[in-house]
Structure 1
Amino acid sequence: MLGIVLCGGHSLRMGTDKGLLIHQDKLWAQVAADKLSVLDLPVKFSVNPSQQETYAGYFGAEQLIVDDPSLDIRGPLLGVLSAHLSNPEEDLFLLACDMLLMEIKLLEKLIHPFKADDTFDAYIFTQDGQQEPLCGIYKAEGLKKNVHLLQTNGLAKHSMKYVLGNLRVCETGIEDQDYRCFSNFNSQEEINNVTSP
């Protein structure tokens, strides 16, 4: 399995690249990578072409997965399917770089069902019945299925939640005290209110 830190969004609401913001003396992208590394996963960073040079300066070019230009999609799905195409045999553990408050104990909570039952294509959390697609494990076989749908015009929508609708999903409910871990930050004001886990 490969850990993938999703950094390739355009951060329009933030107005600056979120993955390169600093939290507790570390880049947001590095904060997410460190959490995935604790799970003994090799980690790579999903970036768009405009970020490639800057991120290579921080992490090294070999740590990057740049959006695949052959994929005619946008949003997080572009990063996810690009990561899959560059590592087609690997299951992917995704973590968005702006989930600053995510705790390692929750990431471990997804590893358990993944190891216990391999009949699913994806392992994610749900909050009040809503799926949280940007922190989860996606198996190679399920991603392959969605690449095929995309290539045959069978992917009607390009959202992560639509993709999950095509997969067998193992859902883990989030307990009330862990809701904060799934906050993502889109403005400087929100960051100023951050309290660390």
Structure 2
Amino acid sequence: MNRTLVILCGGDSSRMGTKKALLPFEDKTMVEYIYDKFSPFFDKVYLSVNERGDLTHLGLDAQEIPDISRNAGPYGAILSCLTMLSGDRAFFMSVDTPFMDPRIAVYLYDQSYNYDITSFKFSGEFLDTICGVYNKRCIGPLFKSVFFKQTTRSYIEDRCYTNLIDTEEIETLSSISMEQQFFKVNDRSSYYYAVFSILKHNFVC
């Protein structure tokens, strides 16, 4: 298998008012929920954090990687992680997308061997979605984007060998809709929606 996962757990969480990774979700925290869901599909898991030690109390079998710069956003976190990974690439996802199906992560990973970046061809409200496989060959362009404060998806993808897969592929991989898969827990109302959705699903099952 030899796949690597990075869960992006940093950021200021200004709209939420507290760390999203530690929000209660089912009978655990948000990051534990995602870890338990995705780790069976990956050999190695990393947690991207603001400061080393942020999540060590959870006891997850995952190495923490602190951000090089707190002001560079998710691409700064991806840069930090790529410099520390033991392998050549990893699938990156945000801790605030708990409904994502691990099968699409595996699919992207399997399509990523020859590319610097492999992701879906997002548009509209999903343009800022952080979901994809990044290779260590991205380190140079990512460093330049952080240095020149051009941390946008288009700036980075234009400077990397990028494979963007049509989002229609998601429908063939999972019964979970794209809107649900990439639903973001950004604030209290979206968090309550996510918690209710999980409770409703478990009740029906």
Establish whether TM, by shorter chain, passes 0.5. Answer: yes
TM-fit CA distance, 1:73? 4.8
Q: In the alignment, which residue of structure 2 is the partner of 1:76?
A: 74
Q: In the alignment, which residue of structure 2 is the partner of 1:99?
A: 97
Q: Which amino acid aligns with 1:164?
A: E
Cα deviation, 1:113-143, whole Å, max 9, x if unaligned, reads 12xxx33211111234764651110011122
Larger deviation, residues 14-23 vs 178-187: 178-187
The answer as to whether partners of 1:124 and 1:133 remain within 8 angstroms in 2 is no
- Alignment RMSD: 2.6
Match among 128, 131, 135 for residue 135 of structure 1? 131
CA distance in 2, matches of 1:79, 1:185: 19
The answer as to whether partners of 2:4 and 2:42 remain within 8 angstroms in 1 is no
Change (3 A) 1:90 1:66: same
Q: Which amino acid aligns with 2:6?
A: I
CA distance in 1, matches of 2:29, 2:158: 33
Q: In the alignment, which residue of structure 1 is the partner of 2:142?
A: 146
The answer as to whether partners of 2:128 and 2:153 remain within 8 angstroms in 1 is no
Secondary structure of the residue aligned to 1:193 is helix
The answer as to whether partners of 1:36 and 1:43 remain within 8 angstroms in 2 is no
Match among 85, 88, 91 for residue 87 of structure 1? 85
Change (3 A) 1:182 1:72: closer
Count of residues in correspondence between the two structures = 187
Q: In the alignment, which residue of structure 2 is the partner of 1:14?
A: 16
User: Percent identity at matched positions?
Assistant: 22
Q: In the alignment, which residue of structure 2 is the partner of 1:48?
A: 50
Q: In the alignment, which residue of structure 1 is the partner of 2:37?
A: 35
CA distance in 2, matches of 1:133, 1:88: 25
TM-fit CA distance, 1:40? 2.4
Cα deviation, 1:120-173, whole Å, max 9, x if unaligned, reads 2111112347646511100111224433x358x5x4502344222211211122
CA distance in 2, matches of 1:20, 1:67: 18
CA distance in 2, matches of 1:34, 1:72: 27
CA distance in 1, matches of 2:192, 2:70: 36
Q: In the alignment, which residue of structure 2 is the partner of 1:112?
A: 110
The answer as to whether partners of 1:32 and 1:96 remain within 8 angstroms in 2 is no
Q: In the alignment, which residue of structure 2 is the partner of 1:159?
A: 152
